[in-house]
Structure 1
């Protein structure tokens, strides 16, 4: 039985992003007036008044730097919300941000896209991840928002 779990942005990457994002820009922290932003450091929605920052993040590039892969043209960067200061990280409670359509992109050890799947709000994410990891070539799955295409989090085999 293969197990897998949602992974927030790693603490070392968060420290770097709070200084300079993956597009080379310093963050502009602000107090979130309404709350509800999907915060990638702790995999929950922000609370009204929390200090957050919208930064550019390149998840596949950072993973490739860890593993020695070369994502080539699949190297994307895009906007993600993080807490402006260090936070306690996520509570291990399943898969966050599942109340809308999501795209699960599958990647190989070389950093190439192996396929994807659209998952609706009423569908089982457990089932979708089990299906993805049935293929032994899949080492990483990125979960992205359909409406904006933003990276939400990644799932790897345990």
Structure 2
């Protein structure tokens, strides 16, 4: 099984930058990175003094009762994104995470929600969840803060 790992899509970020606000109306504001911030546009940690923004983001591109929105860091200006779409993002390999699966209708697949600790094999757990016939995709989220990390399908 080949899994595709997807950061926040560049066209959505470009539309937000052009509008000067995120999709929830929050102003697109420049912040200077301290160097710990996980960037959801390219799935790496920000470097000290990089220009970033904190936005509200929901991974759904149409209305859904399952929509969960939350704060995420992205580059203030466009970046190259996450090019290794077949590789589990290293930044998120050893954190506390939630695998939040959805079925082919877009409904949450409750029986396959998985909570991961730092020492767990995140990639193996994700492969197991995605191998279930009823699971179409997974939102990988922070177990501590609940915010979106990336999409896996």
Q: Name the TM-score, length of structure 1 as normaliser.
A: 0.85
- Mean Cα deviation higher: 88-97 or 98-107: 88-97
Q: Which of 96, 117, 120 in structure 2 is aligned with 1:101?
A: 96
CA contact (8 A) 1:22 1:77 kept: no
5+ residue gaps, structure 2, are: none
Deviations 1:59-116 (A, max 9, x none): 1x21xx3xxxx622x1121111100001111241423322221000001122211021
Please name the residue that 2:16 is paired with: 17
Alpha-carbon distance in 2 for matches of 1:77, 1:107: 16
Alpha-carbon distance in 2 for matches of 1:31, 1:117: 34
CA contact (8 A) 2:93 2:123 kept: no
SS of corresponding position for 1:12: helix
- Mean Cα deviation higher: 133-142 or 48-57: 133-142
Please name the residue that 2:139 is paired with: 142
Alpha-carbon distance in 1 for matches of 2:72, 2:52: 10
Shift of 1:126: 2.1
User: What do you get for the CA RMSD once the two structures are aligned?
Assistant: 1.5
SS of corresponding position for 2:127: helix
Alpha-carbon distance in 2 for matches of 1:120, 1:75: 24
Aligned residues: 146
Matching of residues 1-158 of structure 1 within 5 Å: 2-18=1-17, 19-32=20-33, 34-59=34-59, 61-62=60-61, 65=62, 71-72=64-65, 74-92=66-84, 93-95=87-89, 96-115=91-110, 116-156=113-153
CA contact (8 A) 1:17 1:55 kept: no
Shift of 1:150: 0.7
